[in-house]
Chain A
Amino acid sequence: MTKTPPPVLELCNVQISLPKGADRPYALEGLDLTIEAGEIVCLVGESGSGKSLCAGAIMGLLPEPHVRVTGGAIRFMGEELRGKTDAEMRKLRGADISMIFQEPMTALNPQKTVGWQIDEVLRLHTKMSKAERKVRAIEMLERVHIPDPASAYNAHPHQISGGQRQRVMIAMSLVLSPKLIIADEPTTALDVTTQLQILKLIRELQEEEGAGVLFITHDFGVVAEIADKVAVLCRGELVESGTTDAVLNHPQHPYTRALIGAVPALTPPPIKAASDAPVVLKGTGLKKTFAARGGLLSGKRKAVTAVKDLTFELRQGETLGVVGESGSGKTTVSRIVTRLLECDQGSVELDGTDLLAATPRELRALRQHIQMVFQDPMASLNPRKRVVDLIAQGPIVHGADPAKAREDAKRLLELVELSPAAANRFPHEFSGGQRQRIGIARALAMEPKVIVADEPVSALDVSVQAQVLKLLADLRDRLNLSLLFVTHDLRVAAQLCDRIIVMQKGEIVEHGLTAEVFANPQHPYTQNLLSSIPGRDWTPPSLQTDAA
């Protein structure tokens, strides 16, 4: 009878301290976690929960001495990692423990070819000859299903797509058959169809190699897709852990229950009776190409078509979703209809007036009827202005009395559920969700007919996302707003949109009522998108959320 081998990774009571002045004394407190060979353990938590620092602690890559492990044990194959010298850790890293990063573009060296970078791992850790290394590298590229591995070997990172770059990262981290793979949000930067492929690839290779995987993510859909076991972190504390089925379907801890309750279900809103409300926003034959401006001698570069022949209608009180993957032109649409980008052809009628034909003076007046909520709530608020001035700016520009506009701004803060005490603060003093509330208040201050929202919740944690979505839906119903809602997240679209437009490469491939499109997608692209949603087979249990 053989002795049971020690687990691949064992964390006992690990504690990581933060520098003075941080929001809490310890990034991680008393974390216990075990990963057996051939197991995928998902570490889930919202931003700031300490999940990435946990990965850093295992790899010995914490930003010491400010942040360091102050207690507990980290055992890899039964061997204590704490107290190992740098040289010893270097031998382990890459060979026995490897890491897949979130952003493959920045994790790969842009100056070197893909082949060179895989070759480097082999050169540092093995005594293989040059020819052997090359064979091994190409073989590895083949295993991660990169089309034409030989030419990818000689390509630079910018010459291959984002999904392929992540495949290269995976090839690099698996080339030495490590026993432990740490994947830190490896699919967050990818489109949903690519994400599914990468998740499948990780699963497949992990099964072949029998390695243990620590998979760090914030997305419960991804958890449902890939995990064997789940551990939930909240502010550095492990609040719940167990098998995927137990945690996802029968969460015990209030925090987990709240998190899972916040995951948007894939059930579209009920179909409203065929609306005969008046059309407030109507786009006809919109077309936009981006021509790269050539230099003095280099001549014109090839133009890229972002949107071709787009036509849509938005009725009063309705929410129209624009969904698609990156590069589908959906953001361009949001900029064209607000005329932040000049369009090449077509018209956008706002209550019967063509926005695109308006003179600059007319346009400025028209702008108060169409407002925008931006994606990045940090970037879209001027960091040097107080909140009250940010919100009151629009009305003041359009001739409102400044004192009254500021009073109204405070009222709007209450409407978006922020304390009026927020009025005199600067944007950086708020959390992401609060900033987005300020962004919404700013849009509402103009009492617009149409609000264009460009990925308004994609930069937010899932629980905050749910709150902001609820706020948007509330406001829409109370103020009878019409929303043009651009998103890449089909779950979000399902929550909020009455009708959706699916875009691919600048063209509408499908449009219709959300419920109908989700239930019975016609176009192959839509079908592909819908079948790629992570965790589509898992329906979040409806929970009485008592924590939120």
Chain B
Amino acid sequence: MTLADTEIAPPEPPRYVMFWRRYKRNRAALLGLVLFALVVLMALSAGIIDPGDPLRRAGEPLTPPFVNWETPLGTDQLGRDVLSGVFYGARISLLIGVVATLVAIVIGVVIGALAGYFGGWVDDVLMRITEAFQTIPNFVLLLTLVAIMGSKIEWITVAIGIVSWTAPARMVRAEFMSLRHREFVDAARNLGVSNTSIIFREILPNAMPPIVVYASVIMALSILMESALAFLALGDPNYASWGNMIGQGRAVLRSAPYCAVIPGIAIILTVLSFSLLGEGLNDALNPRQKK
């Protein structure tokens, strides 16, 4: 029995091992991961596994699924291959999900971090701006932006990002407000570390877990928003997106429901995978939930 406290405990397994151990404890999160991997696989293999262009005529219009093996999931009213549309649509949905989320998170982190770290009038000004954005319903703002900027896929993505940054900004602000009073921040200041370094190198890594978790929610929401836009025929007509497919399938909903149902299922599963992923990340990143 020794009282000296200079002996070090045996090393812990590396962080990613701990992370994976905690993540896999949640079964639903594993399902989410599998679904997500499937969507990514679809997006990557579009054009390799499946016959070509989703916008070109591939067979007789309105062939039902599982009839002609040239077009396994059938064709729509213009004879376009539904399977091909689903594969290419995965690309667009993921692209929009990732880029719009990045835009939203970057704006949100910068505004939230500045407001939370500096407080005072900086906080007041930035939060009033945030509130101004929050008072306009997201989708109405999105419609306005798309109406102004036009419905090119790049602009749609940026517009979705612009309408989604307020919630992460508020969350980051709250995290920063509690973290900036921690002693390690004082310790860094006392070493002469500059404000920028403190914000981005000291505090931000500690504020990341809830942001990562919330990012999965934003990704799911952005995919839904893009689909909703496309459904209203405001999507980019040059790309096959799931929303476009549902919007066009609406016309033949009674005679050929599969035209709208199949891309609908794809959206549901993708959004579900993001939510489950977020839940699993929350379990794995939340340090208070040990074992």
Nearest CB in chain A to that of B184: its residue: A382
Q: Is the CB of A372 within 8 A of B187?
A: yes
In the complex, how many residues of chain A place their beta carbon closer than 8 angstroms to a beta carbon of chain B? 52
Interchain nearest-CB distance for A405 vs B (Å): 12
Q: A254-B1, A429-B11, A434-B6 are in contact. Are A365 and B186 (CB under 8 A)?
A: no
* A114 contacts chain B at the CB level, 8 A cutoff: no
Contact B183 A374 (CB under 8 A): yes
- Nearest to A419 among chain B residues (CB) is B8
Do residues B3 and A442 form an inter-chain contact, with CB atoms below 8 A? no
Known: A255-B1, A380-B183, A381-B184. A393 touches B11 (CB 8 A): no
Complex interface: stretch among B79-87, B96-104, B191-199, B215-223: B191-199
- Of all chain B residues, the one with the shortest Cβ separation from A375 is B183
Given contacts A380-B186, A384-B205, A429-B12, contact A394 B6 (CB under 8 A): no
- Asked if A383 and B5 sit within 8 Å, CB to CB, the answer is no
Q: In the complex, are the beta carbons of B5 and A548 less than 8 A apart?
A: no
| Interface of chain B: mostly helix, strand, loop or mixed | loop
A386-427 CB mask vs B (1 if < 8 Å, else 0) is 000000011001100000000000000000011101100100
Minimum C-beta distance from B189 to chain A (A): 6
Chain A neighbourhood of B253, CB < 8 A: none
What residues of chain B lie closer than 8 Å to A464, measured between beta carbons? 3, 5
Complex Cα gap A297–B269 (Å): 49
- Chain A positions within 8 Å of B9 at CB level: 429-431
* A547 adjacent to B193 (CB under 8 Å): no
Docked CA distance A546–B42 (Å): 69
Contacts of B4 in A (CB 8 A): 467, 548
Query: How many residues does chain B have at the interface if contact means C-beta atoms less than 8 Å apart?
Result: 28
Most-contacted residue by chain A among B5, B6, B9, B205 (CB, 10 A): B5
Does B238 sit at the interface, judged by CB under 8 A? no
Q: Decide: B8 and A397 in contact? CB cutoff 8 A.
A: no
Given the interface pairs A21-B291, A234-B1, A254-B1, the reply to whether A340 lies near B190 with Cβ below 8 Å is: yes
Does A199 touch B at the CB level, under 8 Å?
no
B193: contacting residue among A374, A375, A393, CB under 8 A: A393
- Residue contact A367 to B183, C-beta cutoff 8 Å: no
Which of A340, A367, A463 is within 8 Å of B3, CB to CB?
A: A463
Cβ contact within 8 Å between B191 and A446: yes
Q: Which residues of B contact A487 (CB under 8 A)?
A: none
Residues of A within 8 A of B57 (CB): none
Q: How far is the CB of A251 from chain B (nearest CB, A)?
A: 14
- B9 nearest CB neighbor, chain A only: A429
Binary interface encoding of chain A residues 502-517 relative to chain B, with 1 for a CB under 8 A from any of its CBs, else 0: 0000000000000000
**In the assembled complex, which residues on chain A have CB atoms less than 8 Å from the CB atom of B2?**
547-548
User: Is the C-beta of A364 less than 8 angstroms from some C-beta in chain B?
Assistant: yes
- Contact A367 B191, beta carbon cutoff 8 Å: yes
Instruction: Check B50 for interface membership: any CB of A closer than 8 A.
Output: no
Contacts of A319 in B (CB 8 A): none
Can you list, as one digit per residue, whether each of A348-384 has a CB less than 8 Å from chain B (1) or not (0)? 0000000000000001110110111011100111111
Smallest CB gap from B194: residue in A: A364
CA distance A418 to B188 in the complex (A): 22
Residues 192-212 of chain B: 1 if any A CB is under 8 Å from the residue's CB, otherwise 0?
A: 111001000010011000000
A-B contact pairs, 25 of them (CB 8 A): A235-B1, A335-B186, A363-B192, A365-B192, A367-B190, A368-B192, A372-B186, A374-B187, A375-B183, A376-B183, A380-B182, A380-B183, A393-B191, A393-B193, A394-B192, A397-B197, A418-B8, A425-B11, A429-B9, A429-B12, A433-B5, A467-B3, A467-B4, A547-B2, A547-B3
A binding-site residues for B, Cβ under 8 Å? 21, 234-235, 254-255, 258-259, 262, 335, 338, 340, 363-365, 367-368, 370-372, 374-376, 379-384, 393-394, 397-398, 417-419, 421-422, 425, 429-431, 433-434, 437, 439, 442, 446, 463-464, 467, 547-548
Given contact pairs A397-B191, A397-B192, enumerate 6 new A-B contacts (beta carbons under 8 Å): A363-B192, A370-B190, A379-B183, A397-B193, A397-B197, A446-B191
